[in-house]
Amino acid sequence: MTDCIMKKLSLLFISIVTFSVAFCQNDNTDVAIIPQPVKLVKNTGYFILPSNILIQADASPALEATIASLTTHLTVPTGYRAYVNTTKGIPVAVRLILNKMADNTLGDEGYHLVVTQKQVTVTANKPTGIFYGLQTFYQLLPKDIESNTLVQHIQWQAPCVEITDYPRFGWRGLMFDVSRHFYTKQQVEDFIDQMVKYKYNLLHMHLTDDEGWRIEIKSLPRLTSDDATKRVHKEGYFGTFSPPTPDEPRTEGGFYTQDDIREMVQYAKDRFVNIMPEIDIPGHSLSAIVAYPELSCTAGADKYHIISGEPFMDWPGPKGRIDNTLCPANEKVYPFLDKVFTEVAQLFPFEYIHIGGDECAKNFWEQSDAIKALMQKEGLKTQEEVQSYFEKRVEKIIESKGKKVIGWDEILEGGLAPDAAVMSWRGIDGGIQAAKMGHEVVMSPTTFAYLDYMQGDPIIEPHVYATLRLKKTYEFEPVPEGVDPKFIKGGQANIWTEQMFNMRHLEYMTWPRALAIAECVWSPKASKNWDNFESRVEKQFGRFDAAEVKYARAMFDPSFAVTKDANGKLSITLTNEVDGLDTYYSFDNSFPDNFYPKYTQPLTPPKDAVMLKVVTYRGKKQVGREIAMPISELQKRADHKGDDE
């Protein structure tokens, strides 16, 4: 071969490689699955959904609800018909196969999904895996497959792929606080529908708190009296409301009957979700105290009412202005809890009951003669040891019902109950400590997993005391260095609802950050890639739109940082967490667009400017929200920063 031919051939080879890489990247843009599957091979061609969809599935009672939801999913938006057909040997569109011999790579929740031009096949060891394989398949179809109404003029097709997928962790949770604001059974079930699309398998229901007791306990009827479940409706900034006056009606709230609970548990089970109940004790117990004041250490508890958002705890502390705790020295408390946990254990099949344990104010205990006597009798030296004494007795009660205990990381203080699992929320240190003691741990640290925190700048988000942006959420890593992974059961994000007054806002706070957590607890650590994840999130937005689920676009908004020099001159830095955005700004109060000055370096406001307005674009398309930032606010932040340093 001559040199010239060699050169020509290698040029041809380079251009073929370049072409095929470019082609693959382009072609791959219609595959944007969250959480990222373990292994995905994209083949050429598409499966086109036929208007008469034949489904064939191996027989299993646990698959019945899955097939019903598959049928709904494929027929409602398309207007097509689906039939389940058991005749062997006929061509079917969707085939669901349960392995006769377990494939060890897949475990209980994994699946193989093969989409060819002719058929979609999901193979799994267990019905759970089939269910997850179908969730992935839905994400391969056009976004309008998520619509609850007929959508016309769509080519209902999915790219041909071969996927092998299984979760990194068995505990993939979301905590839903239904106490601070009550959400109906229907809303909880809608939420379950949303979470399973991203392969969450655990709904932690925070059923009791100071603001309301939300679960019927038949042997303790006062727990679901209006006094313990209803409060004055308030709007504004929770925690600052004026105390209710006697003439204000207590109309807001509610509770779940035991039938409601059974229905929610079944609804979740049909979607391979466990519901874990939380009864938050001994702190956060005002609603129980209101119903049964004799459970308090403090005289006068019969005057309490559940709070409507008025301040009643002081921070740092926690220091109670009123006593919202169950009294560990009061022997009436333990039979009360025995009754509660007997019924809770019967209602929820999940193996764990969450006993709270967080933020228990001890200032009333310090004053209590009964607590002092208990400390002397039991040799308890600190109030933390008093709480630990309580937790250990509670653990015995719960274990007597055949259940295991999990609690927030405060249950470590004063000595952890022998078999308790720990949910680490004040960072990851509690989780590390518990795992090193050989206890099971679920990670849900504020730093990455608190979805009640603001997702963008406080100037545009409803105010909460802290911020957690999407990119930071995506950095969540449940297994800390130096910890044996076998003790880390998984992770979850927590949705506290003090500031979530309605379901639409709850959705806004949940998505897309819960997409990030879903990927952190399902996908292999090595596949984590922010830019790639972020581009898949943008694709999911179309699905949320089709499903009419609200979500935040805060990831498109810049972060503001500001400093002040010795002459009082401000320097404002804008940072975008999404690549490829341009930020335009104005100082003249008018509305910036892509014809305005583009941000390229830190800004100093012109003399007398009162407002900085910013907006982000991708090319010619506005993607961020317009943010109006008063210069006076930036001055304040710069001054405050100076104070901190």
Q: Give the catalytic positions in this structure.
A: 209, 284, 359
Pair 373, 425: CB distance under 8 Å: no
- Measured from the CB of residue 316, what is the shortest distance to ligand ACM in angstroms? 14
Residues shown for the chain: 645
Q: For residue 302, give every residue at least 6 positions away whose Cβ sits within 8 Å of its Cβ, in sequence order, or none.
A: 293
Q: Give the residue among 502, 505, 489 at the shortest CA–CA distance from 454.
A: 505
Q: How far is the CB of 408 from ligand ACM (least distance, A)?
A: 4
Answer yes or no whether residue 498 interacts with ligand ACM by CB under 6 A: no
Residue 358 Cβ, how far from ligand ACM at the closest point, in Å?
A: 4
Rank residues 446 and 622 by Cβ distance to ligand ACM and give the closer one: 446
Residues between 265 and 294 with contacts to ligand ACM, criterion CB under 6 A: none
Contact 358, 408 (CB under 8 A): yes
User: Is residue 425 at the binding interface for ligand ACM, with CB under 6 A as the rule?
Assistant: yes
- Cβ–Cβ < 8 Å for 167, 199: yes
CB of 433 to ligand ACM, least distance (A): 16
The two beta strands, 157-165 and 39-48, are antiparallel
In degrees, to the nearest 5, what angle opens at C-alpha 383 toward C-alphas 378 and 387?
Answer: 75
- Find out whether 485 and 443 touch, Cβ atoms under 8 Å: no
Task: Please say which residue, 495 or 549, places its beta carbon nearer to ligand ACM.
Answer: 495
Least distance from ligand ACM to the Cβ atom of residue 311, Å: 16
Tokens 């040799």 -> residue: 379
Our CB check for ligand ACM shows the closer of 146 and 278 to be: 278
Report which of 424, 413, 370 is spatially closest to residue 391, judged by C-alpha positions. Answer: 413
E-strand ranges in 136-211 read 157-165, 171-177, 202-206, 208-209
Give the residue with the Cβ less far from ligand ACM, 313 or 634: 313
Token duo for residue 570: 């401000």
Closer residue to ligand ACM, CB minimum distance, 132 or 408: 408
* Closest among 267, 248, 114, 130 to 194, alpha carbons compared: 267
Examine residue 318 and say whether the peptide bond preceding it is cis (omega within 30 degrees of 0): yes
Residue whose entry in the numeric block shows the structure tokens 């009296």: 225
* Nearer Cβ to ligand ACM (129/414): 414
Footprint of ligand ACM on 4-23 (CB under 6 A): none
What is the pattern of x (binds ligand ACM, CB under 6 A) and - over residues 54-83?
------------------------------
Q: Tell me the C-alpha to C-alpha distance, in Å, between residue 294 and each of 14, 93, 210, 326.
A: 82, 63, 16, 9
Q: Phi and psi of 287, rounded to 5°?
A: -65, -35
Query: Quick one: which of 132, 138, 352, 408 contacts ligand ACM (CB under 6 A)?
Result: 408
Nearer to ligand ACM, 270 or 358 (CB): 358
> Residue 236: which region, alpha, beta or left (left: phi > 0; alpha: psi -120 to 50)?
left
Q: Which residue is nearest to ligand ACM (CB)?
A: 358
* Contact track, ligand ACM, 359-378, x by CB under 6 A: x-------------------
Give the integer Cα–Cα distance in Å for 139 and 145. Answer: 9
Question: Of the two residues 37 and 283, which places its CB atom closer to ligand ACM in the complex?
Answer: 283
Please report how close the Cβ of residue 401 comes to ligand ACM at its closest, in angstroms: 23
Total interface residues for ligand ACM by CB under 6 A = 4
Q: Give the nearest distance from C-beta 337 to ligand ACM in angstroms.
A: 19
Query: Shortest approach of ligand ACM to residue 480 CB, angstroms?
Result: 19
**Which one, 109 or 391, has the nearer CB to ligand ACM?**
391
How many Cβ atoms from other residues are within 10 Å of residue 487's Cβ? 19
Whole-number minimum distance, CB 359 to ligand ACM, in Å? Answer: 5
Considering beta carbons, is residue 200 or 425 the nearer one to ligand ACM? 425
The answer to whether 210 contacts ligand ACM (rule: CB under 6 A) is: no
Read off φ and ψ for residue 398, nearest 5 degrees. -70, -40
Which parts of 379-483 fold into alpha helices (H)? 383-400, 429-436, 446-449, 470-474
CB of residue 495 to ligand ACM, shortest distance in Å: 11
Regarding 617 and contact with ligand ACM (CB under 6 A), the answer is no
How far is the C-alpha of 196 from the C-alpha of 371, rounded, in Å?
45
Q: CA nearest 27: which of 151, 160, 221, 155?
A: 160
Kindly state the helix (H) or strand (E) to which residue 189 belongs, with its residue range: helix 185-196
Distance (Å, whole) CA 608 – CA 631: 9
Neighbours of 560 (CB within 10 A): 20
Query: In angstroms, rounded to a whole number, what is the distance separating the alpha carbons of residues 276 and 389?
Result: 24
358 binds ligand ACM (CB under 6 A): yes
**Which residues contribute to the site for ligand ACM (CB under 6 A)?**
358-359, 408, 425
